[in-house]
Amino acid sequence: MVGLIPRNFIDDIISRLDIIDVVSSRIRLKKAGKNYSACCPFHNEKTPSFNVSPDRQFYHCFGCGVSGDALKFVMEFDGLEFIDAIEKIAGDLNIEVPREGNDQKSREPQYRELLSLTQKSADFFEKQLRTSKDKNKAINYLKDRGLSGKAAKFFSIGYAPPGWYNLQNTLAPGEKNNSTNNKTIKQLISCGMIIESDKGHTHDRFRDRVMFPIRNVKGQVIAFGGRVLGDEKPKYLNSPETPIFHKSQELYGLYEARQIRQKLTRMIIVEGYMDVVALAEYGIHYAVATLGTTTSEHHIRRLFKVVPEIIFCFDGDSAGRKAAQRAMETVIPALQDGLQARFLFLPDGEDPDTIVRKEGKEAFEKRLDNAKGFSEFLFDTIKAEVDFDTLDGKARFGKKAGPLIARLPKGLLKEIMTNSLSQETGIDKETLAQLLPEEKERTNRHDSKASTAITQPNAKSKSSLSKPQTNNLAPTTQETAYHAEATDTETAHHHEHQYNIDSEQEIDIDDFIDSENPTLAQANRTPNTKENSKENKQLASMTMKALTLLVKFPESAQHINLLEDFEPEDENERLLCETLKKLKLNPQKDSISLLILWTGSPYADYIKSIANKKLDFTINQDNSEYIQGTLQDLKLRALRREFRSLTDKVRLLSFKGLTAEEKTRFVALPKQLKKHKK
Ligand SMILES: [Zn+2]
């Protein structure tokens, strides 16, 4: 008989779940401010009222009222019972589910106790940096690298003194591995702090090293990186995989970056912890490092949840180039529209740590600003591999670039790169279409039974570097693209035919690309962000005020008109609209009656807190006028954004490149904008 799943295993697995991962691997989410929205998978609707909050880790549908956490979503969406949902989630995370009563019981991870030991180890190392008789070695090393005590403290950097038993004797005093009294030692082995030899002899893993504690997203110390001070090898030593530390999932510095009270707009991925710390010392608080592994898709997706732009930073040598290429392949499936990946190469022999000390913050940030965009990097890299001036080289170029582009998620970037590829190689669009089969679109389903079948094709793909994608995209492309390398005349002829300047061709590439201005740089063009952020800030504050007024004076709703076709972008906007809707249906005179309308929703507490807040601002308008004005401004911003993105698309693809629906919008928008401006 199968035993019970241990309670602490369930707790742990739930705590590791990120609701955004869970939901976005099942339905397509759109970023809306801090939150994400989608058309509700549990009821039929055309405009999205299903909201997911990464901060609060829950989902809520304003249409049908469903809400819950990540686990509940899996149960409801996949149609699973509790235990089956846990099994499913564990499977997705690649974790075996332990069962009580089986022999696994003895191996059952005791996460909490392990976490307490890694924290105690961190405290011990930090103390040693102040008290050890050998501390000066470590302090001098840090000073040499330009580190201040403040930065060392912020990252909780410590020192593991020389000697084999310092940590062991401190955390497990009096215990012997071969006795019955060895619980702590066993746990220290389990969390990687102590090494056990064949004969059962144990000693500290980290000796005479500067210690960098690695924290998970919650800030708990889960592992360490150690930089050697003596001659020992290796130079950098990391904790091994343990029940609490999974290298491919963690990023050094991510927790710390989020602690700095500044808005993150981009993140840099660097190689080592010293790079992260040095950059932070120089005021660049947005660097993270992978931990002795290559960047995984999991890393990338995690970062894209925090920022829309990732910059990979590499050495300029050939190893760096290779690593960059791997990173490029890994990032492809995650590049939804609106997300950017860029590639920065440092001069030979430099790393971020050395260069930021030499050049300072501004110069380094200038390098970041000039980092290569994704499409530029992809095309340049492949061009460098082929003899692009020959027909044969062009064929190879198409063959290499095609499958990569095919793996991009559907969207503007993919469209643009497909067009560029067509232009660069002279392969007509129809041939390319065969080369690049569309990714099957993921749609939201209303039938929860059937929906288990739609899993995201890319989400679970391990590293795409070692193993070619096994989904339906790339491999077949490679096979059918060109039947053989064009070395003999027969195949060369075949190619000629494909490149064609086929006059009967229906689609003219020039219809898609403004041939005078085909630069890819345009694809990466970002709108004037400074102006936007000012407007956004102002609107956010107005929205908060309007919501407060509405909650405090619900009767003002009666003089306000609801907006049509308006899609809120964040939680407050959403709550403003939804509260208004509720009040229109059920007019209320006071906050308490309004609160009752929100009972049972996860937002009830938030609305209550607003109702209880003291009014700390004044407006020189009637309440309803102010709320109505705010709504108009929100709508105006949405219209302007829509128009801007369509204009961009027209610029890149010409008017013909729009879908029928987009064309109608494009023509109608200027009128609407005019109307709203009044
Ligand atoms: Zn719903």
Query: What is the pLDDT, as a whole number, of residue 509?
Result: 27
Q: Give 164's DSSP letter.
A: S
Instruction: Tell me, in angstroms, the distance from the centre of ligand 1 to residue 133's CA.
Output: 64
Which CATH class name applies to 518-677? mainly alpha
Instruction: Tell me, in angstroms, the distance from the centre of ligand 1 to residue 589's CA.
Output: 28
Instruction: Tell me, in angstroms, the distance from the centre of ligand 1 to residue 357's CA.
Output: 53
Distances (CA, A) of 263 to 150, 257, 286: 21, 10, 10
Instruction: Tell me, in angstroms, the distance from the centre of ligand 1 to residue 45's CA.
Output: 8
Instruction: Tell me, in angstroms, the distance from the centre of ligand 1 to residue 65's CA.
Output: 6
Instruction: Tell me, in angstroms, the distance from the centre of ligand 1 to residue 315's CA.
Output: 49
Instruction: Tell me, in angstroms, the distance from the centre of ligand 1 to residue 66's CA.
Output: 6
**10-residue averages of pLDDT along the chain (678 residues):** 73 83 88 85 84 88 87 83 83 76 50 90 96 94 89 94 94 84 90 89 94 86 92 86 85 85 82 91 93 83 85 87 90 88 92 92 94 92 85 82 88 86 76 54 36 34 36 35 33 32 30 33 46 83 93 91 83 90 88 84 86 85 91 89 84 77 84 75
Instruction: Tell me, in angstroms, the distance from the centre of ligand 1 to residue 201's CA.
Output: 59
- How far is the C-alpha of 332 from the C-alpha of 520, rounded, in Å? 17
| CB count in 10 Å sphere of residue 439 | 19
Instruction: Tell me, in angstroms, the distance from the centre of ligand 1 to residue 442's CA.
Output: 18
Complete DSSP assignment for 238-306: E---BTTB-GGG--BTHHHHHHSSS---EEEEES-HHHHHHHHHTT---EEE-SSSPPPHHHHHHHHHH
| CB count in 10 Å sphere of residue 216 | 20
Q: What are phi and psi of 234, to 5 degrees?
A: -80, 170
Nearest alpha carbon to residue 9 among 101, 92, 103, 112: 112
| CB count in 10 Å sphere of residue 613 | 11
Instruction: Tell me, in angstroms, the distance from the centre of ligand 1 to residue 412's CA.
Output: 29
Instruction: Tell me, in angstroms, the distance from the centre of ligand 1 to residue 446's CA.
Output: 10
Query: What is the pLDDT, as a whole number, of residue 101?
Result: 61
Residue tagged 């027209």 (tokens): 650
Query: What is the pLDDT, as a whole number, of residue 497?
Result: 31
Instruction: Tell me, in angstroms, the distance from the centre of ligand 1 to residue 447's CA.
Output: 13
Instruction: Tell me, in angstroms, the distance from the centre of ligand 1 to residue 651's CA.
Output: 37
Question: Distance of alpha carbon 282 from its chain centroid, rounded?
Answer: 25
Instruction: Tell me, in angstroms, the distance from the centre of ligand 1 to residue 541's CA.
Output: 28
Spell out the residues 6+ positions from residue 256 whose beta carbon is closer than 8 angstroms to its own: 154, 155, 215, 276, 280, 285
- How far is the C-alpha of 6 from the C-alpha of 223, rounded, in Å? 24
What stretch of H or E contains 60? strand 58-61
Superfamily holding 102-245: DNA primase, catalytic core, N-terminal domain (3.90.980.10)
Give Dmax (Cα) for the chain: 87
Instruction: Tell me, in angstroms, the distance from the centre of ligand 1 to residue 611's CA.
Output: 26
- How far is the C-alpha of 85 from the C-alpha of 3, rounded, in Å? 16
- How far is the C-alpha of 574 from the C-alpha of 62, rounded, in Å? 9
Query: What is the pLDDT, as a whole number, of residue 66?
Result: 86
Instruction: Tell me, in angstroms, the distance from the centre of ligand 1 to residue 605's CA.
Output: 21
How, if at all, do strands 340-346 and 309-315 pair? parallel
Per-residue buried b or exposed e for 288-314, using 16+ beta carbons within 10 Å of the residue's own CB? bbbbbeebbbbbbbbbbebbbbbbbbb
- How far is the C-alpha of 404 from the C-alpha of 647, rounded, in Å? 27
Domain ranges of the chain: 102-245, 254-435, 518-677
Instruction: Tell me, in angstroms, the distance from the centre of ligand 1 to residue 601's CA.
Output: 13
Spell out the residues 6+ positions from residue 100 whose beta carbon is closer than 8 angstroms to its own: 3, 4, 5, 6, 108
Query: What is the pLDDT, as a whole number, of residue 194?
Result: 95
Instruction: Tell me, in angstroms, the distance from the centre of ligand 1 to residue 49's CA.
Output: 7
Instruction: Tell me, in angstroms, the distance from the centre of ligand 1 to residue 448's CA.
Output: 13
Instruction: Tell me, in angstroms, the distance from the centre of ligand 1 to residue 37's CA.
Output: 11
- How far is the C-alpha of 515 from the C-alpha of 425, rounded, in Å? 14
Instruction: Tell me, in angstroms, the distance from the centre of ligand 1 to residue 75's CA.
Output: 16
Instruction: Tell me, in angstroms, the distance from the centre of ligand 1 to residue 38's CA.
Output: 10
Please give the single-letter amino acid code of residue 390.
Answer: T
- How far is the C-alpha of 62 from the C-alpha of 4, rounded, in Å? 37
Distances (CA, A) of 603 to 56, 279, 575, 586: 10, 39, 9, 18
Instruction: Tell me, in angstroms, the distance from the centre of ligand 1 to residue 40's CA.
Output: 4
Distances (CA, A) of 367 to 113, 306, 319, 660: 44, 22, 20, 41
Instruction: Tell me, in angstroms, the distance from the centre of ligand 1 to residue 43's CA.
Output: 5
Instruction: Tell me, in angstroms, the distance from the centre of ligand 1 to residue 44's CA.
Output: 7
Instruction: Tell me, in angstroms, the distance from the centre of ligand 1 to residue 180's CA.
Output: 57
Helix then strand count (H, E) for the chain reads 27, 16
Please give the single-letter amino acid code of residue 439.
Answer: E
Instruction: Tell me, in angstroms, the distance from the centre of ligand 1 to residue 92's CA.
Output: 25
Query: What is the pLDDT, as a whole number, of residue 483?
Result: 34
- How far is the C-alpha of 381 from the C-alpha of 386, rounded, in Å? 9
Q: Is there a contact between 38 and 50 (Cβ–Cβ < 8 Å)?
A: yes
Query: What is the pLDDT, as a whole number, of residue 293?
Result: 77
Which CATH class name applies to 254-435? alpha beta
Q: What is the dihedral of CA 568, 571, 577, 582, to 10 degrees?
A: 140
Query: What is the pLDDT, as a whole number, of residue 649?
Result: 80
Instruction: Tell me, in angstroms, the distance from the centre of ligand 1 to residue 334's CA.
Output: 27
How, if at all, do strands 194-196 and 287-289 pair? unpaired
The SS3 of residue 387 is coil
Instruction: Tell me, in angstroms, the distance from the centre of ligand 1 to residue 583's CA.
Output: 20
The SS3 of residue 464 is coil
Instruction: Tell me, in angstroms, the distance from the centre of ligand 1 to residue 51's CA.
Output: 9
Instruction: Tell me, in angstroms, the distance from the centre of ligand 1 to residue 73's CA.
Output: 12
- Sign for the CA dihedral angle at 307, 313, 319, 321 comes to positive
